[in-house]
Amino acid sequence: MSSPSYAIGVDLGTTHSALSEIELDLSEGEEVAQQMFSVPQSVAPFQVEARALLPSFAYIPHEREFPAGSLALPWNANPPLLLGGLARDLGAKTPTRLVSSAKSWLCHPKVDRRAPILPVDASEDVARISPLEASAAYLAHLGQAWDAAHPGTKLSDQELVITVPASFDPAARELTAQAAVLAGMPGATLLEEPQAALYAWIARTPHFRSQLTPGDLILVVDVGGGTTDLSLIAVLEEEGRLALSRVAVGEHILLGGDNMDLALAHAVGAELRAEGKMLDPWQLRALAHGCRAGKEALLSGAAESDYPLAIPSRGRHLIGGTLRATLRRQLLDRVIFDGFFPVVPVDSRPRHQERGALTELGLPYARDAAITRHVAAFLHRQLDATAELPGFESARGTFLHPTAVLFNGGVFKAPGLMDRLRDLLDSWLEADGAPPLRVLEGADLDHAVARGAAYYGYVKRGGGVRIRGGTAQAYYVGVEQAMPAIPGVDPPVRALCVAPFGLEEGMTADEPPQQLGLVVGESVRFRFFGSSVRREDVSGSVLERWTDEELSELGAIEATLPADGASPGDVVPVRLSARVTELGVLELSAISLEGERRYTIELDVRSD
Amino acid sequence: MSASRPSFFVRFSLAFAAFFRTLFDADFAAGVRDLRLPAPEPEPEPVPLREADADAAMQLLAALQRKGRFLDFLGEDVSSFSDADIGAAARVVHDGAKLAVAELFDLVPIRSEQEGSEIELEADYDAHAVRIVGDVRGQPPFRGTLSHAGWRVAAAHLPKLADGHDACVVAPAEVEL
């Protein structure tokens, strides 16, 4: 491996992916030679065009659907999957062959993420792919495109950073790292997206240090196409220098800009239906596109109070067949502001409506669409996040008080939404006697994550402010208590802490002193928990009981001890060990006390 | 026309007479030679005109149709529709065609001044990029009012084409199964 000449940041997004590059030889200190890489992709059969974003969609074409060679890419004459803009366009009319939101499936603990399950509603003659394969395919496309554009240089030799949501659990992070390996990028480091957004702000803000003071607490609100990701980053002073520490991350919220545009489209579609005009799914998607443009125009003041929409017919007769509709300001306010950004008191919490017992296999979308309620719950839950930090006053009031906010994600291209959220946060702060927020300005909403990731790759190699973080949760395995069997009663479970909060890259947690017995030759499953608030627990801490606020259950984990050296059925005493790799992936292993053998514990196990 | 074009029999006797006169009359023969040879003064060189690339033009047409339903719009008889119907369709065409053009070309105005403002054209102004109209006389520098700022393609990003592409299909027929 030659020494890298680029730092590369890859934003592997739910709806779009992007790649940014920094030429290391041309960069010095805060003077950084950075650009977005335009990704060649099929835009029509036989036509390849380079675009700044690669839509994260995969289309599985029928063998007779396109002429031979028509999907050729500069680096592959016959790609098995069609990725990018054309895939998304085709999927609008042939949804049963379209893989979308693979990233959300990658962090869905209830499905086998290595099994070919996508598209979920594909017919039987479609060769489905796994969420892992889909993610690897997007990465491979970016990598091969980059290699083709940089003859003599290989992406796998560069300083490579791939972003994941801060709310991704250890299994989803490990699967992302595995997707990178499948895509030929084994050395990729993982970085949380809100951190990447802040790195991008640092990179594009001259004298950023003058804008931050120790004691500042930055709330990063990242609302992408499909997910909402929250993080808190504290500004500290260490040995006279500014330091940044990511102190908390929010829950995984499957809720983003696409939901908003679709909600608007459904609302406008309902008005059309009332006039007797029916829309097919393709027209609904065209309507959602129009609604997005209308939302951005109305919420930036570019349009007055109504935004005219036109939904084309499918046939040649465009003029008579085009449906007219209007996105009225009133409807926009009702759907977007009241639905997604309602003005709520700071003590409101997301509603957890119970679902019907017979739900289809699908993504666990957020049940409460109100982003403001999720933000309120996050700030309340993290009230003590800065309690131990030097330079921070002990918490007062009912929620943690951020002092600055950084908005990221395409949703905020509608400035009205930024204003709404900031005004609401300010009103909460004012009621608690705290000063209003400063907005960290100047984000490049579509590209910040990729740019910030590349910048992180750059500062990692030397100099520059780094955000420290480590794991955003403490992790626990469930251990059944020994007790006499009572029919119908599950034995009580205790939670044994195996990895404390804030375990940083390259660090190994102390081994908890407890010994566990593992059965040789069998797969043993453990329940696995994470806590985003229990910062004081150390390896070996045992919880007898806990609230849902404190611990949330993650997917099960599984240990398999091969039978070599011992007879199957034997119980071998082990201790559990946790470390975070240099690449940012949590590794759990069982170490046998006799013979000092180490067995990897699988994090991504399908829970039934 | 027929009066100036001799009939076959007239031409036969004429050729017969011309043959003998050419054979025996040196002056007459010189005239016949000059008739047959190209004129001595040089003809103007033919101006080579480049064939425009039809594939690229069809690519643009396909993009305008795909994104903005451009051909469908032009194919309609607008006289039979109300302005409101035409307006709705025009939005589709405008939104889509704008996107298609923006993806294919980086367009910048040729002159950065405000339209309507007085500007001066230097002596060596580029007559390719600036057209002078109205009271055109004298020598540059010219002073005048900028009535249109012009457009220039700063960069074109036409899609690259794979082998086997039939550019003539600008919009495939669509069959829903």
B81-106 pLDDT, tens digit per residue, is 889 889 889 988 999 999 999 989 99
Per-residue pLDDT band for A397 (boundaries 50, 70, 90) equals confident
Position A356 scores a pLDDT of: 45
- What is the C-alpha separation between B65 and B52, in angstroms, rounded? 21
pTM of the model: 0.85
Three-class SS of residue B153? strand
Contact state of B161 with A47 under an 8 Å Cβ cutoff: yes
pLDDT tens, residue by residue, A482-498: 666 677 777 788 899 99
In A238-327, where does DSSP find H-type helix?
Answer: 257-274, 281-298, 318-321
- What is the C-alpha separation between A546 and A557, in angstroms, rounded? 20
Which residues of A make CB contacts under 8 Å with B? 40, 43-51, 67-72, 74, 93, 290, 293, 308-310, 312, 314, 316-320, 322-324
- What is the C-alpha separation between A312 and A309, in angstroms, rounded? 10
pLDDT tens, residue by residue, A107-135: 888 888 999 999 988 888 899 999 999 99
Q: Are A449 and A166 in contact (CB under 8 A)?
A: no
Q: Burial code of A147-181, b = ≥16 C-beta within 10 A, e = fewer? A: bebeeeeebbebbbbbbbbbbbbbbbbbbbbbbbe
Q: What single string gives the DSSP state of each residue in A451-509?
A: HHHHHHHHHHTSSS--EE---SSEEEEEEEPP---BTTBPPPEEEEEEE-TTPPTT-BP
How many CA atoms does the CB half-sphere of A287 hold within 13 Å? 26
Residue of B55, B64, B66, B72 to mutate, testing the A interface (most A Cβ within 10 Å of its Cβ): B72
Q: What residues form DSSP beta bridges with A574?
A: A516, A592
**Partner residue opposite A48 with nearest CB, options B89, B159, B166:** B159
Q: Are A228 and A253 in contact (CB under 8 A)?
A: yes
Residue holding tokens 């955003």? Answer: A472
- What is the C-alpha separation between A439 and A418, in angstroms, rounded? 10
- What is the C-alpha separation between B149 and B146, in angstroms, rounded? 7
Q: With 50 as the cut, is the pLDDT of residue A100 above it?
A: yes
Residue of A53, A90, A93, A318 to mutate, testing the B interface (most B Cβ within 10 Å of its Cβ): A318
**Partner residue opposite B159 with nearest CB, options A49, A68, A308:** A49
- What is the C-alpha separation between B79 and A589, in angstroms, rounded? 76
Position A485 scores a pLDDT of: 65
- What is the C-alpha separation between A231 and A251, in angstroms, rounded? 10
More confident residue, B70 or A3: B70
Q: What single string gives the DSSP state of each residue in A314-333?
A: SSS-HHHHPEEEEEEHHHHI
Task: Calculate helix-pair angle for B26-36, B8-24, nearest 10 degrees.
Answer: 120
- The answer for B 37-76 residues in CB contact with A (under 8 A) is 59, 62, 66, 69, 72-73, 75-76
Burial of A206 (0-12, 13-18, 19+ CB in 10 A): exposed
Strand-pair category, A493-499 with A306-311: unpaired
Contact state of B160 with A48 under an 8 Å Cβ cutoff: yes
Three-class SS of residue A576? strand
- What is the C-alpha separation between A214 and B46, in angstroms, rounded? 78
Q: With 80 as the cut, is the pLDDT of residue A9 above it?
A: yes
